[in-house]
């Protein structure tokens, strides 16, 4: 890590395969940032325990997420790619920060309300306090910037509040992180419900395209994609959300403007357009899928990356925890 570069932190749960939206909206841009920033990309496996997990499936999904990071182009020598559970400082700092977080702040978290409704038989304390662990994830690395979507704004704001509260008591300790939204990041919506963001946790498999979906499945999902009344292939999020989403996707994978897409398909039919989008997405994902197959079949290599990068992450994280422990009055060993 280079001292004169700003630090970016991002954490993704290994709760399912990543989608086309994850790739176009985030991962593709992460690859473009790896020379400009100090980047920590964490597989946040500890967060998954708020919902009951099958242990073997969780392990396999953790390997799979790392393999996808690599397949999408993240260099393990330029980025710190690591497992949250491999760096004990995450849990240690989370406890301290929990003592500087108010119950009212946590009770206002919309994701806690949403997940409580979806998992009413398992409303556990971790589900209530996991935004504190998320704050620890970010603050451990003195992160300047955090890539977030609209559903994470509350959590980043809480991390900022905790950092400012701690700094006010003990002096400058944490960097107060800012949201990071790449200028060329695409916001990809659900194929069947274009008013919702594409999500890997969606219960309807036709709503999303996974990075690992086979070519025929990808094309079939786009053929089923919701369009709009009328026949004009024109970008208008309010009047034509379905077509606008498809235009966004095509423009992103082809690296052209929305206006270029409108011109290319002017006078065209929805069916032909949907097929073209599907084929373009399949073509874009094919080389990533090939690399993913190579990486996921070599667990020894993946484990070597995790070991090496856990050491890098731990060095930075443990330094932060020692600083915090000293300021709150613990005797350092």
Please say whether the beta carbons of 108 and 142 come within 8 A.
no
Q: Is 197 a catalytic residue?
A: yes
Q: Is 6 a catalytic residue?
A: no
Sheet holding 178-180, edge to edge: 79-83, 38-43, 7-12, 145-147, 178-180
Q: Is 5 a catalytic residue?
A: no
CA atoms within 13 A on the CB side of 221: 26
For residues 204-242, one letter each, b for 16 or more C-beta atoms within 10 angstroms of the residue's C-beta and e for the rest, the string is: eebbbbbbbbeeebbbebbeebbbbeeeebbbeeeebbb
In sequence order, the 6+-apart residues with CB closer than 8 A to the CB of 13 are 43, 44, 45, 47, 48
Q: What is the DSSP string of 266-279?
A: TT--HHHHHHHHHH
Per the residue annotation, which of 142, 197, 240, 274 is the catalytic one? Answer: 197
Per the residue annotation, which of 6, 78, 113, 115 is the catalytic one? Answer: 115
Per the residue annotation, which of 6, 200, 254, 312 is the catalytic one? Answer: 200
The catalytic residues are 115, 197, 200
């Amino acid at each position: 890590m280079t001292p004169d570069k700003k630090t970016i932190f991002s954490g993704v749960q290994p709760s399912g395969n990543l989608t086309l939206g994850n790739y176009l909206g985030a991962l593709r841009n992460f690859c473009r940032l790896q020379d400009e920033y100090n980047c920590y990309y964490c597989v946040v496996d500890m967060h998954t325990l708020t919902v009951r997990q099958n242990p073997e499936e969780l392990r396999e999904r953790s390997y799979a997420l790392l393999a996808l990071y690599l397949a999408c182009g993240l260099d393990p020598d330029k980025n710190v790619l690591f497992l949250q559970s491999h760096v004990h400082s995450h849990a240690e700092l989370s406890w301290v920060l929990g003592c500087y977080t108010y119950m009212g702040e946590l009770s206002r978290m919309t994701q806690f309300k949403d997940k409580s409704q979806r998992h009413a038989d398992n409303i556990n304390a971790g589900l209530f306090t996991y935004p504190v662990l998320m704050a620890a994830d970010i603050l451990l690395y003195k992160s300047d910037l955090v890539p977030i979507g609209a559903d994470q704004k509350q959590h980043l704001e809480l991390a900022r509040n905790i950092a400012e509260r701690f700094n006010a008591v003990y002096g400058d300790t944490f960097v107060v992180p800012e949201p990071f939204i790449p200028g060329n990041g695409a916001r990809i919506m659900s194929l069947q419900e274009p008013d919702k963001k594409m999500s890997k946790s969606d219960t309807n498999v036709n709503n999303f395209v996974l990075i690992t979906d086979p070519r025929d499945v990808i094309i079939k999902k786009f053929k089923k994609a919701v369009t709009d009344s009328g026949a004009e292939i024109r970008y208008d999020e309010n009047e034509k959300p379905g077509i606008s989403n498809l235009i966004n996707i095509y423009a992103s994978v082809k690296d052209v403007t929305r206006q270029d897409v409108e011109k290319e398909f002017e006078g065209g039919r929805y069916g032909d357009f949907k097929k073209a989008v599907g084929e373009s997405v399949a073509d874009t994902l094919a080389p990533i899928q090939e690399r993913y197959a190579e990486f996921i079949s070599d667990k020894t290599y993946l484990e070597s990356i995790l070991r090496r990068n856990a050491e890098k992450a731990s060095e930075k994280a443990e330094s932060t925890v020692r600083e915090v422990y000293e300021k709150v009055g613990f005797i350092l060993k």
